[in-house]
Chains A and B, each alone.
Chain A
Amino acid sequence: MTVAFELNGAAVALDLPPETPLVHALRDGLGLFGTRWGCGAEACGACMVLLDGKAVPSCTLALDAVAGRRVLSVEGLGTPTAPHPLQEAFLAEQAGQCGYCLSGILVSAAALLETNPDPDEAAVRAALDRNLCRCGAHNRIIRAVLRAAAAMRGVPA
């Protein structure tokens, strides 16, 4: 069965079993490895994507549930030559150690900044509370999100 949806701004069609979790469809169906598998139980946030602008785990999200919908993965945020302000800020703050959790955190942060362009620290912590980090990079990540928000509002760093 072919499932068609919008991914990172472009139309895609995937011929995979409809129950395939989206995280595996992105990784092995499309070769986009930025979305990471961490638990398969919506409990760690490593596999977060934006579905119609909302951050959701993709490890239990069946491929056919995204038919006709808009999906954004970390690869759709930006690229090394055209980075998203969040990606620039994460590099500027060196906000990551092992980095396995970062894709999901970037996606959660992007969803936050869509709805709240001027979050305070507590709002950032609340928005990232579904994302686990084991290396203890939390404070740098929070600073990076606040830095990106300021940049997106046009406030000089």
Chain B
Amino acid sequence: MSGARPAPGAAPPRSADVGPPPAPPKLPGSLETNRRLSQWLRLLPEGRVVVTPGKVEIGQGILTALAQIAADELDVDYARVSVQAAATDHSPNEGVTSGSRSVQDSGLALRHACAAARAIHLGVVAQRSGVPLEALRVEDGTFLAPDGRAIGSYWAEAGSALLECAAPHDVAPKPAAARRVAGTSAPRLDLPDKVFGVPRFLHDMRLPGMAFARIVRPPSRGARLEGVPEAPASARLVVDGSFLAIVCASEAEAAAAAARLAARARWAERDTLPPAGELPQRFRADAVETAGIAARPGSGVAPARTLRAEFFRPYIAHASIGTCCAVARMSEAGLEVWSHSQSIFALRRDLGLALRLPAERIVVHHREGAGCYGHNGADDVALDAALVARAMPGTPVRVQWSREDELGWAPFAAANLVAVEAKVAEDGTLLSWAQDVYGNGHLSRPGCAETPSLLAASHLAAPFPAPVALNPAPAGGGGADRNAVPLYRTGGLSVRVHRWLEMPLRTSSFRALGAMANVLAIESVMDELAQAAGRDSVEYRLAHLDDPRAHAVIEAALAMAGAPPPGRGEGTGRGLAFARYKGSGAWCAVVAEVEAEEEVRVRRLWIAADAGEVVNPEGAAHQIEGGAVQAVSIALKERVTFDGRAVTSNSWETYPILRFSEVPTVEVRLIPRPEEPPLGTGECATGPTVAAIANAIHDALGVRVRTLPFTAENIALAMG
């Protein structure tokens, strides 16, 4: 054996006389595909740094983290750095701002780009001044000789085009120990505006001569527009097939006029939606596309016990507090759109398809919207605004969705059924694990299909068929199958995903995608297997986990929670759950404490996570806590409801979310790993929180609830 295997991390052996020369190593993150340094940052003569990433602020605080990274690598004061919102005409194309990947993709690219910018400037100054390169220092953007003499600055070189070059490979960003700003909890750059009511959201944007439109959506999914009354004198209608918009001089008039128009427009309606209770059967009986995700033969040892269990997560709404909004203006030059989309480049492409306009004649500018937890209606409303703007060339048009559209027509998180079959030895040791995931795919973002994915495109007189949601590839974390492969040592393994090819309700990406249902399934089954073997559920998990970072978060969460309170099993309970997000992201363990009387209430959560390097610890902890609180809301309350024709949960009364009086106290601990690659934090707590609640309910009531949400009704059904 000795000498036959390369060292871990070494390049594979290659023969000297065959094959192409070695490719240079990849540049970090999005820099690999956007190499010009001037795409990433600008240095201004007045002493400011403007960072220009392609990732966008969606309420997660990424702008702040990027400014911290830039300040560190350039050696400038954090206060000198600002971040410019992305636009398709100048920003690096960084794809989608999603998947807890902003720091990995954009942050690591920017870190390298800024380190390169610093090195290039120092090289020029060294040559010019004769001071050896190694002797130069940078202090808040000024270049200092060893005697403390200032011999230049970034600001003095601002006009010299030093950044008009491709990023070099041979640049080493600072070691973790030398960072002063990244790794600290710098305050959010965007928060002061939001606390003082300063206009900052896209919703607040006004342009001279702006018109305000509202969309009158079909009353149900299969409805077709048959007749429209005359518009009032002060309004204008834009009609294209079953797309109906009303345009007024103000938002107040548009909202009122849209309500009146909705009551008078005539539609032909028909049933298109299946009974909600039949979804699990339909997922299995209808046409599906099956994909194998993981397969490994078992040892052949005969099992002592087999556990089969099925879990169901209903459709979930994004339910942002602000409804989706867009501004569009059509001119001879083309279309300009302002959007809070997560993927401005793909939106530009789908707008081009829907409007039959070359993409190069469209510019999409990002502006901040309300909280974004995945593919919501942001892209759809951009097409709404563009369709109206096309009918009124030269006039800037603003469209904001109604609350009913937001909860009823934005893409939903896909409903999923997860079936697990686990076989164990007498002592509970896993011998094999099979997990089958059913339901719609989790990806119908713009840019993913031949036809545009934008809502109104399927309502036009010449309609585009709505693309049926796909699942992202397993290498990207998968979709319905996200986290379907247990991190536990299972013995044999079979994981398959069966994508439903009908899509009665449009589904797409929502925070954590399939991880919520899969982690609920895995962690519920692990608890149940431990109990059946008479073993402690934590000891049982650890015995099946080889990963020391997994052990560390589980042990940390337990230590945070301390001894359980009295009254366990009598309406009060605790549960633990664990997952490594996507199998490749952050490790997270959650302990939940619940009280279960007439309704379940989550009282406390203790969360330990390991997300590698953390650029802004407070921001990361806040992302984890926010994800966990949202998961509590989904676990206890949320379910999209519908009848044969329409979504009926289209108001806050019919789609309630967790309120202040119901929010648990949350403690978050991040395990410091400054030398490890950053892994993102926005989604890692979602699955473990839901699963920890399920296990806590079992602890309190002795019942395994496998259908979300954990309402009194679903608990009663589980009790049989």
Contact = CB atoms under 8 A, between A and B. Distances in A.
B626 A135 contact: yes
B188 A94 contact: yes
A119 interface: no
Interface in A8-46: 16-17, 19-21, 24-25, 27-28, 32-41, 43-44, 46
Contacts, number: 177
B58 interface: yes
A94 B191 contact: yes
B321 A101 contact: yes
B371 A43 contact: no
Main secondary structure of the interface of A (DSSP, over half): loop
Contacts of B188: 94, 96
Contacts of B652: 39, 41, 43-44, 132
Interface string A75-89: 100111001000100
A36 B626 contact: no
B622 interface: yes
Contact of A134 (B190, B198, B255, B319): B319
B560 to A, nearest CB: 15
Nearest to A89: B195
A46 B195 contact: no
Contact of A100 (B195, B370, B628): B370
B625 A136 contact: yes
A129 B661 contact: yes
Given A46-B321, A136-B627, A40 B255 contact: yes
B403 A94 contact: no
Interface in A122-147: 124-126, 128-129, 131-142
A78 B659 CA distance: 27
A128 to B, nearest CB: 4
A21 B370 CA distance: 21
Interface string A28-72: 100011111111110110100000000000000000000000000
B321 A126 contact: no
Given A24-B251, A38-B323, A125-B660, A135 B371 contact: yes
B252 interface: yes
Interface in B651-705: 651-653, 657, 659-661, 663, 665-666
A65 to B, nearest CB: 14
Given A28-B250, A98-B59, A99-B191, A38 B322 contact: yes
Contacts of B206: 28
A102 interface: yes
B203 interface: yes
B321 A44 contact: yes
A100 B660 contact: no
A4 to B, nearest CB: 19
Contacts of A126: 660-661
B201 interface: yes
A62 B60 CA distance: 35
A125 B601 CA distance: 15
Given A44-B652, A102-B195, A139 B321 contact: no
Contact of B192 (A16, A27, A28, A80): A80
A17 B250 CA distance: 11
Contact of A137 (B201, B368, B626): B626
Contacts of B255: 24, 40
B372 interface: yes
Nearest to B58: A98
B370 A96 contact: no
Contact of B371 (A19, A90, A98): A98
A137 B629 CA distance: 8
A144 to B, nearest CB: 10
A102 B256 CA distance: 26
A22 to B, nearest CB: 10
B195 A33 contact: no
B61 interface: yes
Interface in A89-110: 90-91, 94, 96-103, 106
A74 interface: yes
Interface string B42-64: 00000000000000001111000
A126 B663 CA distance: 11
A35 B197 contact: yes
B630 to A, nearest CB: 5
Contacts of A135: 59, 371, 626, 630
B196 A75 contact: yes
A80 B194 CA distance: 11
Question: Which of A32, A41, A126 is packed against the most chain B CB atoms within 10 Å?
Answer: A41
A98 B191 CA distance: 8
B689 to A, nearest CB: 10
Contact of B59 (A19, A40, A43, A97): A97
Contacts of A21: 252
Question: Which of B371, B400, B651 is packed against the most chain A CB atoms within 10 Å?
Answer: B371
A46 B187 contact: no
A83 B159 CA distance: 39
Nearest to A102: B194
A78 B196 contact: yes
B429 interface: no
B403 A38 contact: yes
Contact of B196 (A27, A34, A128, A140): A34
Nearest to A133: B321
Interface in B252-287: 252, 255-256
A87 B622 contact: no
Nearest to B59: A98
Interface in B384-442: 400, 402-403
Contacts of B198: 33-34
Contacts of A94: 185, 187-188, 191, 618-619, 622
Interface of B: 58-61, 185, 187-188, 190-201, 203-204, 206, 250-252, 255-256, 319-323, 368-373, 400, 402-403, 618-619, 622-623, 625-630, 651-653, 657, 659-661, 663, 665-666
Given A28-B250, A41-B652, A98-B369, 14 more contacts: A33-B198, A38-B403, A39-B652, A40-B255, A44-B321, A73-B197, A74-B196, A80-B196, A94-B191, A97-B61, A97-B623, A98-B59, A98-B194, A136-B625
Interface of A: 16-17, 19-21, 24-25, 27-28, 32-41, 43-44, 46, 73-75, 78-80, 83, 87, 90-91, 94, 96-103, 106, 124-126, 128-129, 131-142
10 contacts: A17-B252, A43-B651, A73-B197, A87-B195, A91-B195, A97-B371, A134-B319, A135-B630, A136-B626, A138-B629
